[in-house]
Structure 1
Amino acid sequence: MFKRRKTQASLVRTQLGAEMQIKPEVKNELSKRLNRIEGQIRGIEKMLSEDRECRDVVTQIAAATKALETVGFRMLAAGLTDCLAHPKKSAAAGYSVTEVEKLFLKLS
């Protein structure tokens, strides 16, 4: 029988040294989204250099902005999930439910 490998969560550090647990599959998802956003930004730069219609450029900027917000919310949702599952450990690491809520509000 095959042994199942245990997946370990990645740690994301804050400026204060606190750590938020993020599962590897979520981290990979976020990385893929950020790569797509990077491509969108390059496309916007190209549109500007080609003097494309302002309306089209603004539409692409809005799409990239929304995509980046989604990455932030997804990351915080993963952190909140961990925070709720392990409240004492999360609070000790600087991520109480209240702190994660404040981070959500920064994105809104």
Structure 2
Amino acid sequence: MKVDDEAVGAVLNRLRRAQGQLAGVIAMIEAGRDCKDVVTQLAAVSRALDRAGFKIVASGMRQCLAGADPDSPPMTEAELEKLFLTLA
């Protein structure tokens, strides 16, 4: 799946934000921070990763269905559904 060039920047920003949040979670655990605070930050990391994944799928959906990438065959509806469900 080819990600739209315009979406790449947004996806990379979300992934970098998630990377920073994950580093924060690791530091919180190492510092012995309260469980509630750690879980809250961990949930934020999870949401950031989900959003990046959804952006990638949404951006590439048209190319997948149309078979716009000459190096890969078009995806079926069942394959797209399975791809979405992996993020759910």
Q: TM-score, normalised by structure 1?
A: 0.70
* SS of equivalent residue, structure 1 residue 103: helix
Amino acid of the structure 2 residue aligned with 1:62: A
1:1-108 counterparts in 2 under 5 A? Answer: 20-84=1-65, 86=66, 88-89=67-68, 93-108=73-88
Identity over aligned residues, as a percent? Answer: 38
CA shift, 1:66, in A, is 1.2
Consecutive unaligned residues of structure 1, counting only runs of 5 or more, are 1-19
**Which one scores higher on RCO, CA 8 angstroms, separation ≥ 6?**
2
Question: Could you say which structure has the larger radius of gyration?
Answer: 1
Cα offsets for 1:25-68 (capped at 9, x unmatched): 11111111101100001111111111111100001001111111
Question: Could you say which structure has the higher strand fraction?
Answer: 1
* SS of equivalent residue, structure 1 residue 21: coil
Consecutive unaligned residues of structure 2, counting only runs of 5 or more, are none
Question: Could you say which structure has the higher helix fraction?
Answer: 2
How many residue pairs end up in the alignment? 86
Structure 1 segments, 4+ long, off by >4 Å, are: none
What is the alpha-carbon distance in structure 2 between the residues aligned to residue 31 and residue 102 of structure 1? 24
Amino acid of the structure 2 residue aligned with 1:21: K
